[in-house]
Amino acid sequence: MESRDRFLKTSLDDLLRAGETGDGFAETRRFFGRVAAEVPAYGEMLRERGIDPATIREPSDFAGLPLLDKANYVRRFSQDQVVFGGDRARCDFYAVSSGSTGEPTFWPRSAADEYPIATRFEQVFRDMFRAHEKRTLAVVCFAMGTWVGGMFTTFCLRALAEKGYRVMIATPGNKPDEIIRIVERLGADFDQTVLLGYPPFLKEVIDAGRAKGLDWGRYNPRLVLAGEVFSETWRELMAERAGVEDVLHFAASLYGTADAGVLAQETPLSVAIRRFLSTRPNLAQQVFGDARLPTLCQYDPANRYFEVVDGTLAFSGDNGVPLIRYHIADRGGIMSHDEMLVKLRTAGFTAPEGGRRQPFVWVFGRANFTISYFGANIFPETVSLALEQPDVRGFITGKFVMEVKEGLGDKPAFALAVELAQNVVASDEIGRSIGASVLAVLRQLNSEFANYVPADRQGPVVTLYPPGHPDYFPIGVKHRYSR
């Protein structure tokens, strides 16, 4: 297996070398030629549009190729038609999307497809956590079963161990009591314990451990996160509750999808930049085109080739289903390593030593998680920041659901369901504090909200729910922040 041998026998520095010295287009152009020739569905799409693959020579030519998505490609053609050779027998596993935007999607994959993705995990575990030097207990807290997160992660971690990293893996899935039991039983035997899961769930795990008297700092915890944008206030809060002082190397977010695995990852450099910009919204506006703070990652352009199309991201890359200019509705952007650092150095930023010269990609999250209220978009990450403020965060888990409700008076209302922390009793005072915090942050950071929404309709209607309430916060499923 070529991809397995390359991953196991090649150092991380060598695996990343092409992406640090080039823009990835040469590799992507060769990949495109193979897809055009060997994937029946893609060849048919090109013929329908009268596109000769031989004419695609430059990035400008490539940008004229059709954008793919689930509707016009994955659901249109059979699974055999969208894989190399027109036969999914080369694959041996189904990755299942969470279905956050509708019907779950089944993606055929093979073990060969996972080793390149394991390189993203290697970059996190080596550059961020020094796992090649430290005995590491890796606890997979994503849901196990058909959903992609848990199985994907477990495979990649086993690939790291196969390569020689000192990693031992436990797979309790999304069961807080079992996760805590594993950490208490095994964590002391390792130099560090890495929890891998969704941000709100790992916060629940950390808080549950503290409630039981668990001294997290004893286990030198680290986090690998996926699926959601979080604030630097949240990162600091989690590090504090986990007993960790080195915030820069504490948590790494992955940018990934079931469609194509992990596309990019946070690095010590990207975290340092994000923390620098978190207190400089005007500079963040200049860099990202938005004062909101996105997830900021670095990526290997020789592995995943990104483009920006009308403010949204498209990527190309090899998978069980190879994808060319695949569009997943993520708002974001890209910037070269040198351009980013030039912009920031003029503002006084000093990069940490040892950073890799990979380009940057940022993502604000999917538009379907926002709500529109009197013409203003309200983004879940802004509400999250409000719920992380010191005067309210001790009462709640951080989970919420926002929606616009009709029938509350003669105008629509901004309704906010909020999950209480364990053993916290709902009160009018807590509700008022939450409403005031959300209103203040929205007025400060969301100019549309401040100017579009009538002043008498800006305050959210807050409803408090106990942990795990089945209507808004069901246990064991991926949380949705809007309706």
Query: The CATH number of the domain where 306 resides is what?
Result: 3.40.50.12780
276 and 384 part of one domain: no
Residue 65 pLDDT > 70: yes
Does residue 265 contact residue 297 with C-beta atoms inside 8 Å? Answer: yes
Q: Do the domain assignments include residue 437?
A: yes
416 and 316 part of one domain: no
> Beta strand 106-109 with 93-96: parallel, antiparallel or unpaired?
antiparallel
Does residue 233 contact residue 199 with C-beta atoms inside 8 Å? Answer: no
Q: Do the domain assignments include residue 130?
A: yes
What's the average model confidence in pLDDT over 20-32?
95
| The total number of structural domains that make up the chain | 2
As a whole number of angstroms, the distance between CA 409 and CA 95 comes to: 45
What's the average model confidence in pLDDT over 152-180?
94
333 and 266 part of one domain: yes
Which of 332, 367, 402 delimits the end of a domain? 367
| Tens digit of each residue's pLDDT (9 = 90 or more) over 405-441 | 876 456 788 999 999 998 899 999 999 999 999 999 9
Q: Do the domain assignments include residue 12?
A: no
Residue 374 pLDDT > 80: no
323 and 378 part of one domain: no
326 and 461 part of one domain: no
361 and 427 part of one domain: no
Confidence class for position 368, pLDDT limits 50, 70, 90: low
Q: Do the domain assignments include residue 126?
A: yes
| Tens digit of each residue's pLDDT (9 = 90 or more) over 91-128 | 888 877 755 445 678 888 888 888 999 999 999 999 99
The CATH number assigned to the domain holding 401 equals 3.30.300.30
Residue 129 pLDDT > 70: yes
What does the pLDDT read at residue 336?
Answer: 97
**Who has greater pLDDT, 460 or 144?**
460
379 and 360 part of one domain: no
**Who has greater pLDDT, 388 or 122?**
122
Print the domain residue range for 243.
109-367
348 and 392 part of one domain: no
Q: Do the domain assignments include residue 318?
A: yes
Residue 39 pLDDT > 50: yes
Strand partners, 93: 109
Confidence class for position 450, pLDDT limits 50, 70, 90: confident
**Who has greater pLDDT, 144 or 393?**
393
As a whole number of angstroms, the distance between CA 296 and CA 254 comes to: 10
Which of 324, 340, 367 delimits the end of a domain? 367
As a whole number of angstroms, the distance between CA 262 and CA 152 comes to: 9
359 and 283 part of one domain: yes
345 and 401 part of one domain: no
Q: Do the domain assignments include residue 7?
A: no
159 and 223 part of one domain: yes
Q: Do the domain assignments include residue 398?
A: yes
Which of 367, 396, 424 delimits the end of a domain? 367
Token output for 143: 């849901």
Look at 79-93, 312-326, 447-461 and tell me which has the smallest mean pLDDT.
447-461
Q: What is the DSSP string of 39-97?
A: -HHHHHHHHHTT--GGG--SHHHHTTSPPB-IIIIITTS-TTTTSGGG-GGG--EEEE-
Does residue 392 contact residue 430 with C-beta atoms inside 8 Å? Answer: yes
| Tens digit of each residue's pLDDT (9 = 90 or more) over 314-366 | 999 998 899 999 998 788 999 999 999 999 999 999 999 889 999 999 998 65
What does the pLDDT read at residue 293?
Answer: 87
Token output for 95: 């990755």
Q: Do the domain assignments include residue 15?
A: no
348 and 376 part of one domain: no
Highest average pLDDT, of 244-248, 396-400, 411-415, comes from 244-248
- Spatial CB neighbours of 402, under 8 Å, sequence gap ≥ 6: 371, 378, 380, 383, 414, 415, 416, 417, 460, 481, 482, 483
